[in-house]
């Protein structure tokens, strides 16, 4: 059985697809569907949109693409005559018919694989998915119109891939000097090539989202309430930042410094120590390298001990943290 087959199953009570190429906007449904069959029970939380039909469940580890006859008949008239063709016929609102023929295994299916070869444009149908190739679409127009449509699509990409409506508006308002295409050329390009993929990327939004869960706070053991903090100066485009990272709880901070004087560093350290104090932590030790050796600990915070590493050494915790910050930003 091909993964390009769409089965019409009178024993199924759910629509479930295995082939992601048939679906758009695959997303988490926020709930779990348990599908019971002879092979056992399969579960999935994913749903997708089958163009022209609606939402179906998506189970990537499944073995078939199944439309429930029970659900299909709720949307469309379905007929079957075993003596005349031996096939299910799903009648669409536009008068056309989708035919599900019997396979050698006795399954009634529609083979969408042939329709998907070299396809770029989807027709809106009431069930399943029908595709036209670019060559088929070009055959509906003259060579001149195809050439102008190709130019229109190339220009659309050149000016930053505006949406179809925005693109037409730009052309009609003469916002492009000496524009070589017209509104009709743009519409022809849309009919031949379909929507540009680059326009859709980043603009598709989730239709459903899960309920926000409030995380439960976990009490910090008392032994971690006393904090040992490492510090160093990080440079981004020659701008100094005081970076700190605490042992055990791994809380990091980065503060831009107006300059590298001790006065500025004192102020930055006091600010971050106040944050720790607000949440019930006590900074007892601060680790630094040689550039901080002449700092006066009494000007930092009462009860804080400043430990300076030996010459030509660095504090590994904060060095790794600086590297992480730079990599991620």
Determine the pLDDT at residue 207.
Answer: 61
Q: Where is the domain boundary, 85, 117, 149?
A: 117
In the predicted model, is pLDDT for residue 305 greater than 80?
Answer: yes
pLDDT of the residue at 130:
47
* Domain identity same for 247 and 310: yes
> pLDDT value at position 204?
61
Do both 12 and 101 map to the same domain? yes
Q: In the predicted model, is pLDDT for residue 134 greater than 50?
A: yes
Stretch 129-155: mean pLDDT, rounded?
Answer: 80
Tell me: pLDDT of 121 over 60. no
171: tokens are: 């052309």
End-of-domain residue from the set 58, 87, 117: 117
pLDDT at 102: 87
CATH number (domain holding residue 233): 3.30.420.10
Q: Which of 51, 84, 117 marks a domain boundary? A: 117
Residue 31: the pLDDT is 87
Segment among 52-61, 122-131, 187-196, 262-271 with least mean pLDDT = 122-131
Please report whether residue 38 resides in a domain: yes
Together in a domain, 156 and 81: no
The residue with greater pLDDT, 206 or 249, is 249
For residues 256 and 300, membership in a common domain is answered with yes
Longest CA–CA separation in the chain, Å: 98
The reply to whether 265 falls in a domain is yes
Do residues 195 and 226 both lie within one domain? no
Report yes or no on 133 lying in a domain.
no
- Distance between CA atoms of 177 and 82, rounded to whole angstroms? 64
CB neighbour class for 287 (10 Å; exposed up to 12, middle 13-18, buried from 19): buried
Segment 149-197, tens digit of pLDDT: 999 999 998 998 888 889 999 999 999 889 999 999 999 998 888 887 7
Q: Tell me how far apart the alpha carbons of residues 9 and 24 are, in angstroms, rounded to a whole number.
A: 22
In a domain, 147, yes or no: yes
- Do 84 and 23 fall within a single domain? yes
Q: Confidence band (pLDDT; 50, 70, 90) for 214?
A: low
**Which residue has better confidence, 84 or 171?**
171
**Other CB atoms closer than 10 Å to residue 185's CB: what's the count?**
21
**Model confidence band, residue 231 (pLDDT cutoffs 50, 70, 90):** very high
> Do 26 and 113 have their domain in common?
yes
Q: Comparing 214-228, 237-251, 291-305, which segment has the lowest mean pLDDT?
A: 214-228
Q: What is the CATH number of the domain that holds 44?
A: 2.40.70
CA angle 129, 131, 135 (to 5 degrees): 180
User: Is there a single domain that holds both residue 306 and residue 231?
Assistant: yes
User: Would you list the DSSP string of 127-160?
Assistant: SS-EEEEHHHHHTTS-HHHHHHHHHHHHHHHHTT
With respect to residue 122, please indicate whether it lies within any of the assigned structural domains. Answer: no
Query: Do 165 and 268 share a domain, yes or no?
Result: no
Is residue 10 located within the same domain as residue 76?
Answer: yes
State the average pLDDT over residues 220-237.
89
Domain count within the chain: 3
Residue 122 pLDDT level (bands cut at 50, 70, 90): very low
**Whether 13 and 100 share a structural domain:** yes
For the chain, percent of residues with pLDDT exceeding 70: 86
Together in a domain, 260 and 226: yes
Domain hosting 74: range is 5-117
Please state the pTM of the whole predicted model. 0.37
**Tell me, what's the pLDDT at 219?**
74
Query: What value does the mean pLDDT of the chain take?
Result: 84
Q: Is residue 210 included in any domain, yes or no?
A: no
Q: Kindly state whether residue 131 falls inside one of the protein's structural domains.
A: no
Q: Domain for residue 182, yes or no?
A: yes
């Amino acid at each position: 059985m091909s993964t390009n087959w769409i089965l019409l199953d009178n024993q199924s009570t759910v629509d479930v697809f295995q082939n992601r190429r048939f679906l758009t906007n695959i997303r988490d449904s926020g709930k779990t569907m348990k599908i019971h069959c002879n092979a056992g029970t399969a579960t999935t939380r994913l749903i997708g949109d089958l163009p022209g039909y609606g939402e179906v469940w998506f189970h990537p580890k499944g073995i078939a693409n199944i439309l429930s006859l029970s659900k299909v008949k709720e949307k469309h008239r379905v007929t079957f005559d075993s003596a005349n063709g031996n096939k299910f016929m799903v009648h669409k609102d536009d008068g056309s018919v989708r035919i599900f023929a019997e396979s050698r295994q006795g399954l009634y299916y529609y083979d969408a694989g042939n329709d998907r070869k070299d396809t770029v444009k989807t027709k809106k149908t009431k069930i399943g998915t029908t595709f036209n190739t670019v060559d088929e679409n070009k055959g509906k127009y003259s060579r001149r119109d195809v050439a102008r449509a190709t130019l229109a699509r190339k220009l659309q990409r050149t000016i930053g891939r505006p949406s179809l409506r925005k693109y037409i508006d730009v052309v009609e308002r003469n916002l492009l000097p000496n524009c070589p295409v017209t509104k009709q050329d743009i519409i022809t390009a849309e009919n031949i090539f379909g929507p540009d993929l680059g326009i859709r990327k980043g603009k598709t939004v989730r239709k459903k989202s899960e309920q926000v869960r409030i995380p439960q706070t976990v009490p910090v053991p008392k032994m971690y309430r006393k904090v040992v903090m490492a510090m160093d100066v990080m440079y981004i485009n020659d701008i100094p930042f005081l970076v700190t990272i605490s042992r055990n709880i791994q809380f990091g901070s980065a503060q831009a410094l107006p300059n590298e004087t001790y006065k500025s560093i004192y102020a930055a350290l006091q600010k971050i120590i106040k944050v720790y104090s607000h949440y019930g932590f006590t900074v007892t030790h601060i680790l630094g390298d040689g550039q901080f050796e002449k700092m006066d600990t009494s000007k930092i915070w009462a009860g804080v001990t400043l430990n300076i590493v030996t010459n030509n050494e660095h504090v590994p915790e904060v060095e790794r943290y600086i590297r992480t910050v730079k990599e991620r930003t």
